[in-house]
Amino acid sequence: MHVATTAIPGLLTFTPEPHHDVRGFFSRTFDADVARAVGVVPERFCQDSLSRSAKGVIRGLHLRTGRGEAKLVRCSSGAVFDVVVDLRPGSPAYRTWVSFELSGDRQNSIFVPPGCAHGFQALTEPADTSYRIDRPHDPSEDLTIAYDDPELAIGWPLPVGAMSDNDCAARPLAELEDQLGRVLAAAG
Protein backbone atom coordinates (compact mmCIF):
# COMPACT_ATOMS: atom_id res chain seq x y z
CA MET A 1 0.00 0.00 0.00
CA HIS A 2 1.35 3.41 -0.99
CA VAL A 3 0.76 6.40 1.32
CA ALA A 4 1.15 10.01 0.15
CA THR A 5 0.83 13.42 1.76
CA THR A 6 -1.28 16.18 0.22
CA ALA A 7 -1.40 19.98 0.11
CA ILE A 8 -3.45 19.88 3.34
CA PRO A 9 -1.29 18.91 6.34
CA GLY A 10 -2.46 15.64 7.92
CA LEU A 11 -4.63 14.69 4.93
CA LEU A 12 -3.21 11.44 3.55
CA THR A 13 -3.99 9.24 0.56
CA PHE A 14 -3.74 5.45 0.76
CA THR A 15 -3.49 3.59 -2.55
CA PRO A 16 -3.47 -0.21 -2.43
CA GLU A 17 -2.21 -2.53 -5.14
CA PRO A 18 -5.18 -4.75 -6.01
CA HIS A 19 -4.40 -8.21 -7.36
CA HIS A 20 -6.33 -8.80 -10.59
CA ASP A 21 -7.03 -12.18 -12.18
CA VAL A 22 -9.82 -13.91 -14.13
CA ARG A 23 -12.10 -13.84 -11.06
CA GLY A 24 -11.85 -10.05 -10.64
CA PHE A 25 -9.60 -8.54 -8.00
CA PHE A 26 -8.57 -8.77 -4.36
CA SER A 27 -7.44 -5.68 -2.44
CA ARG A 28 -6.40 -4.95 1.11
CA THR A 29 -8.29 -1.74 1.87
CA PHE A 30 -6.84 -1.09 5.33
CA ASP A 31 -3.63 -2.12 7.06
CA ALA A 32 -3.17 -1.13 10.71
CA ASP A 33 0.62 -1.33 10.53
CA VAL A 34 0.76 0.96 7.49
CA ALA A 35 -1.62 3.39 9.22
CA ARG A 36 0.47 3.43 12.42
CA ALA A 37 3.66 4.04 10.42
CA VAL A 38 2.22 7.36 9.14
CA GLY A 39 0.72 8.49 12.46
CA VAL A 40 -2.85 7.24 12.10
CA VAL A 41 -3.93 5.36 15.23
CA PRO A 42 -6.17 2.50 14.08
CA GLU A 43 -7.45 1.75 17.59
CA ARG A 44 -9.17 5.16 17.66
CA PHE A 45 -11.64 4.16 14.94
CA CYS A 46 -14.93 3.19 16.58
CA GLN A 47 -17.56 3.33 13.82
CA ASP A 48 -17.83 2.16 10.23
CA SER A 49 -20.58 3.59 8.03
CA LEU A 50 -21.62 3.20 4.40
CA SER A 51 -23.60 5.48 2.09
CA ARG A 52 -25.02 4.62 -1.33
CA SER A 53 -25.58 7.57 -3.65
CA ALA A 54 -27.13 8.00 -7.07
CA LYS A 55 -25.10 9.72 -9.81
CA GLY A 56 -24.89 13.48 -9.22
CA VAL A 57 -25.78 13.35 -5.52
CA ILE A 58 -23.72 15.68 -3.33
CA ARG A 59 -23.20 14.86 0.35
CA GLY A 60 -21.60 17.60 2.42
CA LEU A 61 -19.66 19.64 3.15
CA HIS A 62 -19.77 18.16 6.66
CA LEU A 63 -17.71 19.17 9.67
CA ARG A 64 -17.75 17.91 13.24
CA THR A 65 -17.81 20.38 16.14
CA GLY A 66 -16.42 19.70 19.61
CA ARG A 67 -13.11 17.83 19.36
CA GLY A 68 -13.54 17.35 15.63
CA GLU A 69 -13.51 14.02 13.88
CA ALA A 70 -10.93 12.05 11.94
CA LYS A 71 -12.11 9.66 9.25
CA LEU A 72 -10.83 7.25 6.67
CA VAL A 73 -12.97 7.49 3.52
CA ARG A 74 -13.10 5.05 0.58
CA CYS A 75 -15.43 4.52 -2.36
CA SER A 76 -15.95 0.76 -2.30
CA SER A 77 -18.01 0.61 -5.51
CA GLY A 78 -18.43 3.16 -8.28
CA ALA A 79 -16.63 6.50 -8.09
CA VAL A 80 -16.90 9.82 -6.26
CA PHE A 81 -15.38 13.28 -6.60
CA ASP A 82 -14.22 13.77 -3.00
CA VAL A 83 -13.49 17.20 -1.47
CA VAL A 84 -11.69 18.16 1.75
CA VAL A 85 -11.62 21.76 3.04
CA ASP A 86 -9.00 22.71 5.64
CA LEU A 87 -10.70 24.86 8.30
CA ARG A 88 -7.93 24.81 10.94
CA PRO A 89 -6.86 28.46 11.50
CA GLY A 90 -3.20 27.56 12.19
CA SER A 91 -2.84 25.45 9.06
CA PRO A 92 -0.87 26.77 6.07
CA ALA A 93 -3.73 25.44 3.90
CA TYR A 94 -6.46 27.23 5.93
CA ARG A 95 -9.66 27.72 3.87
CA THR A 96 -8.33 25.86 0.87
CA TRP A 97 -9.72 22.67 -0.62
CA VAL A 98 -8.35 19.70 -2.49
CA SER A 99 -10.20 17.02 -4.42
CA PHE A 100 -9.63 13.37 -5.24
CA GLU A 101 -11.38 10.74 -7.29
CA LEU A 102 -12.01 7.76 -5.07
CA SER A 103 -13.10 4.63 -6.92
CA GLY A 104 -14.08 1.06 -6.35
CA ASP A 105 -11.70 0.00 -9.10
CA ARG A 106 -8.68 1.53 -7.35
CA GLN A 107 -9.91 1.06 -3.75
CA ASN A 108 -7.97 4.18 -2.74
CA SER A 109 -8.72 5.96 0.55
CA ILE A 110 -8.12 9.31 2.18
CA PHE A 111 -7.52 10.06 5.85
CA VAL A 112 -9.29 13.31 6.80
CA PRO A 113 -7.91 14.93 9.98
CA PRO A 114 -10.10 16.75 12.55
CA GLY A 115 -10.89 20.35 11.62
CA CYS A 116 -11.45 19.61 7.93
CA ALA A 117 -14.82 19.63 6.20
CA HIS A 118 -15.60 16.75 3.87
CA GLY A 119 -18.03 16.13 1.05
CA PHE A 120 -18.37 14.31 -2.24
CA GLN A 121 -20.37 13.96 -5.44
CA ALA A 122 -21.26 10.55 -6.85
CA LEU A 123 -19.82 10.14 -10.36
CA THR A 124 -21.46 6.79 -11.06
CA GLU A 125 -24.82 5.08 -10.62
CA PRO A 126 -24.56 4.10 -7.78
CA ALA A 127 -21.51 4.96 -5.69
CA ASP A 128 -20.93 3.28 -2.31
CA THR A 129 -18.77 5.26 0.10
CA SER A 130 -17.34 3.81 3.32
CA TYR A 131 -16.32 5.84 6.34
CA ARG A 132 -14.21 4.68 9.29
CA ILE A 133 -14.73 7.30 12.03
CA ASP A 134 -12.85 7.95 15.28
CA ARG A 135 -15.81 9.19 17.38
CA PRO A 136 -19.40 8.00 17.86
CA HIS A 137 -21.80 10.14 15.85
CA ASP A 138 -23.61 12.87 17.79
CA PRO A 139 -26.05 14.80 15.58
CA SER A 140 -25.82 17.83 17.90
CA GLU A 141 -22.19 18.28 16.74
CA ASP A 142 -22.95 18.27 13.00
CA LEU A 143 -22.12 21.41 11.02
CA THR A 144 -22.74 21.66 7.29
CA ILE A 145 -21.21 24.21 4.92
CA ALA A 146 -22.92 25.08 1.63
CA TYR A 147 -21.58 22.96 -1.22
CA ASP A 148 -21.77 26.05 -3.47
CA ASP A 149 -20.03 28.45 -1.06
CA PRO A 150 -18.77 31.32 -3.26
CA GLU A 151 -15.56 31.70 -1.22
CA LEU A 152 -14.60 28.07 -1.84
CA ALA A 153 -15.83 27.97 -5.48
CA ILE A 154 -15.61 24.18 -5.69
CA GLY A 155 -15.93 22.97 -9.27
CA TRP A 156 -18.30 20.04 -8.88
CA PRO A 157 -17.95 17.93 -12.04
CA LEU A 158 -21.62 17.03 -12.63
CA PRO A 159 -24.95 18.82 -12.38
CA VAL A 160 -26.18 18.61 -8.79
CA GLY A 161 -28.44 15.63 -8.14
CA ALA A 162 -30.43 14.96 -5.00
CA MET A 163 -29.29 16.41 -1.67
CA SER A 164 -30.54 16.05 1.88
CA ASP A 165 -32.70 18.84 3.30
CA ASN A 166 -29.88 19.63 5.73
CA ASP A 167 -27.29 19.93 2.94
CA CYS A 168 -29.67 22.12 0.89
CA ALA A 169 -30.15 24.47 3.85
CA ALA A 170 -26.42 24.76 4.63
CA ARG A 171 -24.92 28.24 4.89
CA PRO A 172 -21.64 29.56 3.47
CA LEU A 173 -18.49 29.92 5.58
CA ALA A 174 -18.99 33.69 5.92
CA GLU A 175 -22.20 33.06 7.88
CA LEU A 176 -20.66 30.38 10.12
CA GLU A 177 -17.73 32.30 11.64
CA ASP A 178 -18.91 31.98 15.28
CA GLN A 179 -19.58 28.25 14.99
CA LEU A 180 -16.33 27.64 13.10
CA GLY A 181 -14.27 29.47 15.74
CA ARG A 182 -15.58 27.18 18.50
CA VAL A 183 -15.12 24.06 16.37
CA LEU A 184 -11.61 24.82 15.30
CA ALA A 185 -10.36 25.90 18.73
CA ALA A 186 -11.43 22.49 20.06
CA ALA A 187 -10.04 20.52 17.10
CA GLY A 188 -6.85 22.62 16.81
Average pLDDT across the chain, whole number: 93
Q: In what order do the strands lie in the sheet with 116-122?
A: 97-103, 79-86, 116-122, 58-64, 142-144
What is the value of pTM for the model shown? 0.92
Q: How far apart are CA 155 and CA 153, in angstroms?
A: 6
pLDDT the model gives residue 65: 83
pLDDT the model gives residue 117: 96
Mean pLDDT, rounded, for 133-143: 90
CATH of the domain at 59: 2.60.120.10
pLDDT the model gives residue 62: 96
Domain enclosing residue 44, as ranges:
2-187
Of the residues 19, 20, 62, 137, only one is catalytic, namely 62
pLDDT the model gives residue 185: 52
Residue 2: active-site member: no
Cβ neighbours of residue 7 under 8 Å, at least 6 residues apart? 93, 96, 98
Of the residues 2, 20, 131, 147, only one is catalytic, namely 131
- Angle CA 26–74–39, to nearest 5: 100
Mean pLDDT, rounded, for 43-70: 94
pLDDT the model gives residue 179: 78
Q: How confident is the model at residue 140 (pLDDT cuts 50, 70, 90)?
A: confident
Residue 94: active-site member: no
| pLDDT tens profile 90-104 | 899 999 999 999 999
* CA 76 from centroid of its chain's CA atoms: 14
Mean pLDDT, rounded, for 146-150: 97
Residue type, 78: G
* CA 58 from centroid of its chain's CA atoms: 12
| SS3 of residue 118 by DSSP | strand
Q: How confident is the model at residue 83 (pLDDT cuts 50, 70, 90)?
A: very high
| pLDDT tens profile 24-46 | 889 899 999 999 999 999 999 99
Tally of domains within the chain: 1
Share of the chain above pLDDT 70, in %: 96
Is 114 within 8 Å of 37 (Cβ atoms)? no
Q: How far apart are CA 71 and CA 11, in angstroms?
A: 10
Concatenated DSSP letters of 142-167: EEEB-TT-TTT----SS------HHH
